[in-house]
Amino acid sequence: MSASLPPFPKPQEPTDEPVLLELSAGADEPCLRADAARNRARLLEAATRLVAEHGAAGVTMEAVAAAASVGKGTVFRRFGDRTGLLMALLDHSAQQLQAALLSGPPPLGPGAPPAERLGAFGRAVLRQSVDHLELQLAAQPEPTRRHSFPPQRFLSGHVTLLVRQAVPDADAPLLAQALMGYLDPALVHYLTKDCGMPLERLESGWNDLVERLIRTELP
Amino acid sequence: MSASLPPFPKPQEPTDEPVLLELSAGADEPCLRADAARNRARLLEAATRLVAEHGAAGVTMEAVAAAASVGKGTVFRRFGDRTGLLMALLDHSAQQLQAALLSGPPPLGPGAPPAERLGAFGRAVLRQSVDHLELQLAAQPEPTRRHSFPPQRFLSGHVTLLVRQAVPDADAPLLAQALMGYLDPALVHYLTKDCGMPLERLESGWNDLVERLIRTELP
DNA sequence: CAGTGAAACGGACCGTGGTCCAGTTTTCTT
DNA sequence: AAGAAAACTGGACCACGGTCCGTTTCACTG
């Protein structure tokens, strides 16, 4: 049971090197055999349909494989595990967000003061969370890996940067993690669904949080 | 597949009423049949042994049942699910912490100013987290339920109280959740194990966080 | 000290995530 | 163009979490 060579290469390994600029997922498609690409598309389409029909819980690896007329092993080879498949479904919006952060218009993108960018960032993530809440929750990998997954690292890296700009003498990574914790989909779900808080309250809570953390008044 | 009556009563349901003073778990033992109590003890002992021998991952429901010379159904009847079993293993230290918060000596218990109590609270939870990290991680229920589980609600309720005392005009529950997010075992694991940060850094990060959130200098 | 109903027991059973590998298809090399 | 190497496929297979339900044990009553 000790770590032997993986039976087949995982599509995206948790890398240890800085990932700030790597667009994380989706970059594994370039060299993909014709049939593989075709099947990948079929699988994603099938999964999307299953989500729409039976909710995220209905996305069974076997069901997806069957719906795409493909072997089960293929699903695992392509996406690594269930988490990987779900993440792939979320990938599109994640990439959009990343792009907006890196090169979109202010205040989300570069050009605005850090405090405002942080405010906009929180609102954007909050929105995205409620939009895809079910998937976000289902895609949550086992707790151990949650923070080390590339998209997550990209986001916290981004926040770290902004925090460092706003308060250069603070322990930026730690403050950033505290901020990110507030945006955790599970927390958002709990506060909105179980506690019945409206999204607006979460948003102004975010503003308050940012203001306090960087000791600045947000307009 | 819709919600029918549960096959057998869950040992502790997520209640919706305020739980601030209820000592959460462990209060279900009072009326327990002799054999049930005996088996419960045997199961906990077996589980503890398995954790020591094979790590938390080795705590298989079947293995525990076998090691306790008990049927598998019994394990589920007693603890609801794997999460419940792991939580029961953590219950002792959780209760200790709760007791210390409610009636222990300051600054953890009542009697110190809120800011200092918050500081002590963070250090205590951080310590407890690193002590039982493996179990804490394994016991993490599915994301959806994480925040609604009684022990967690007790802790965030406590923090909410302290925050409200410290900054009466803020949205205390939200600030409290932000603080609690920093103490999430998964985050602690990531920062200490994956990023190699020493516990001391996390602790001073906590102090910094508290100071900023309640806009007060901590001694 | 039976008798009785409720609670606990236990293991067969199921669905799902994940692995493996024998056979096939694609791409590369010469 | 042909053959070999690499990559992909698909379904049989396994382990584990969780459920069901017929059987057994407990604790209370008269």
* Tens of pLDDT, residues A32-69: 788 888 899 999 999 999 999 999 999 999 999 999 99
Domains B33-80 and B90-214 share a fold: no
Give the pLDDT score at A23: 46
Taking each helix axis as running N to C, give the angle between helix B150-166 and helix B199-214, from 0 to 180 degrees, rounded to the nearest 10.
50
**What residues does each domain of chain A span?**
33-80, 90-214
Q: What is the pLDDT of residue A33?
A: 81
Query: What pLDDT, in 10s, does the model give residues B173-204?
Result: 999 999 999 999 999 999 999 999 999 999 99
SS3 of A135, please? helix
Residue A95, CA distances (Å) to A27, A154, B33, B132 in order: 11, 11, 56, 36
Give the pLDDT of residue A10.
41
Q: Select from B177, B201, B215 the Cβ nearest to the Cβ of A187.
A: B177
Report d(CA B207, CA B185) in Å as an integer: 18
Query: What pLDDT does A25 receive?
Result: 44
Residues with CB under 7 A from strand D: A 8, 32-33, 35-36, 39, 69-74, 77-78; B 4, 7-8, 33-35, 59-62, 72-73, 76, 81-83
Summary mean pLDDT of chain A:
86
Q: CA at B163, C1' at C4: how many angstroms apart?
A: 56
Nucleotide of closest approach to A72 (CA, C1'):
D10
Has residue A129 got a pLDDT over 90?
yes
Residue B91: is it exposed, middle or buried by C-beta count within 10 angstroms (0-12/13-18/19+)? middle
Q: What is the percentage of chain A residues whose pLDDT exceeds 90?
A: 76
How many CB atoms lie under 10 A from the CB of residue A24?
21
Does the domain at residues A90-214 carry the CATH identifier 1.10.3470?
A: no
Residue with tokens 């953590």: B90
In the structure encoding, which two tokens stand for residue B40, read together?
Answer: 């419960």
Q: How far, in Å, CA of B36 to CA of A136, rounded?
A: 40
Which residue is the nearest neighbor of D10, CA to C1'?
Answer: A71
Which CA-bearing residue is nearest the C1' of C10? Answer: B71
pLDDT recorded at residue B215: 81
Residue type, A52: A
Whether residue A107 is predicted with pLDDT greater than 50 in this model: the reply is yes
The one-character DSSP state at A193 is I
Most confident of A30-44, A145-159, B4-18, B21-35: A145-159
> Which nucleotide's C1' sits nearest to the alpha carbon of A73?
D10
Q: How confident is the model at residue A3 (pLDDT cuts 50, 70, 90)?
A: very low
Q: What is the CA A60 to C1' C17 distance in angstroms?
A: 9
**Tens-place pLDDT, residues B74-123:** 999 999 999 999 999 999 999 999 999 999 998 999 999 999 999 999 99
Domain covering B33-80 in this structure, CATH number: 1.10.10
